[in-house]
Amino acid sequence: YDIPEEIWITDTTFRDGQQARPPYTPEQILKVYDFLHEIDGGTGLIRQCEFFLYSKRDRKAVQLCKERG
User: What are the domain boundaries of the chain?
Assistant: 9-68
| Distance, CA of 45 to CA of 43 (rounded, Å) | 5
What are the Cα distances from residue 6, in Å, to 2, 40, 65?
A: 12, 13, 26
Q: How confident is the model at residue 59, as a pLDDT?
A: 92
Q: How confident is the model at residue 56, as a pLDDT?
A: 92
pLDDT in tens, 27-45: 998 999 898 888 887 777 7
Q: Which residues of the chain have pLDDT under 50?
A: none
